Amino acid sequence: MPEDKPLMDALMKAIELEKETFDLYTKAEQKTFNPEGKRIFRWLAKSEETHYLKLTELYTSLHEGGRWVFYGRNTFDLEPADESQRVGFETNDLDALKIALEIEKRGLSYYEQLIESSDDFEGSSMLKTLRDEEKEHIRIISEKLAQIS
C-alpha cells in the first residue's frame, strides 16, 4: 500500500497534540498541591502518554509497511480518590481543568475527523478507541469541574 501523505500528516499532528497535552498535564500535576488534582492530572498524563506512544508506533508501521497496529484501549484506571481529602482546587487548578477540557474536546473533534476520512476498517477501529478515551477524559474533567464549581 503506498503511503497516504494526508493521513501521515494527520497522524503527525495527532502525535504532536498528544505530546503537548501530556506536557500540560504533567506541569499541572507538579504545580498543584491538592491531592485530588494531582490524581486527576497524573491519570490524564498517563493516558496521553499511551496515546502518544501508540500513535508513534502506528506512524512508524504505516511508513515502513503500510500496516495499521492494534490498539485495544489503555490498561490503567483512574486510581481511587482518597475520600478523606476534600476537593478544593485553587483558581490555578480550576483554570488548568478548564484548559484540559477544551484540549480534550479538540482532540475528540480531531479523532472524529480522522475517523470520517479513514476508509480502513482497522484504522477506523483504532481511531474510534482513541476517540472513546477522549470522551472518557471529558467526562472525568467535567465531573471534577462540577464538583468545584
d(CA 10, CA 36): 34
- pLDDT digit string (tens) for 129-149? 889 989 999 998 999 888 877
**Is residue 142 a part of any domain in this protein?**
yes
> Which amino acid belongs to residue 16?
E
pLDDT for the residue numbered 71: 62
Cell numbers at residue 29, please? 500535576
Residue 15, domain extent: 5-67+90-148
**Is residue 19 a part of any domain in this protein?**
yes
- pLDDT digit string (tens) for 78-119? 455 443 333 344 446 778 888 889 889 988 998 898 888 877
pLDDT for the residue numbered 35: 82
**Is residue 51 a part of any domain in this protein?**
yes
d(CA 75, CA 46): 10
**Is residue 103 a part of any domain in this protein?**
yes
The CATH number for 143's domain is: 1.20.1260.10
Tally of domains within the chain: 1
pLDDT for the residue numbered 85: 38
When pLDDT is averaged across residues 27-37 and rounded to a whole number, the result is 85
Residue 2: pLDDT over 60: no
